[in-house]
Amino acid sequence: MQNNNVYDYINITNVINQLHLKKTSQKGNYIYAICPFCQNSEEKKGYLKINTISNVYICRKCESSGSSIDLYANLKYISTKEA
């Protein structure tokens, strides 16, 4: 049986590019970026850890986490259904 979960089809890399998040580094399947929830743009170390395979994120500083759709919805102040 095929998994038709919409979360599996939304690429988090596209979401972070569309939201213009500041990337600080990339290591394998992980992108590190400035957390839009707790960090300012002057900081050099990105605490937002983005898994490009699972399409999920977590901030090691404020512990904000979720899927690519959650990230988009939270930053656009809309529901995940609208996102």
Q: What is the mean pLDDT of the chain?
A: 89
The rounded distance, in Å, linking the Cα atoms of 35 and 22 is 8
Query: Quick check: 82 pLDDT over 90?
Result: no
The rounded distance, in Å, linking the Cα atoms of 69 and 72 is 5
The pLDDT, as a whole number, for residue 6 is: 59
Q: 23-57 pLDDT, tens per residue? A: 999 999 999 999 999 998 788 889 999 999 999 99
- Which residues have C-beta within 8 Å of that of residue 58, sequence separation ≥ 6? 48, 49, 64, 65
**Radius of gyration of the chain, Cα coordinates, nearest whole angstrom:** 13
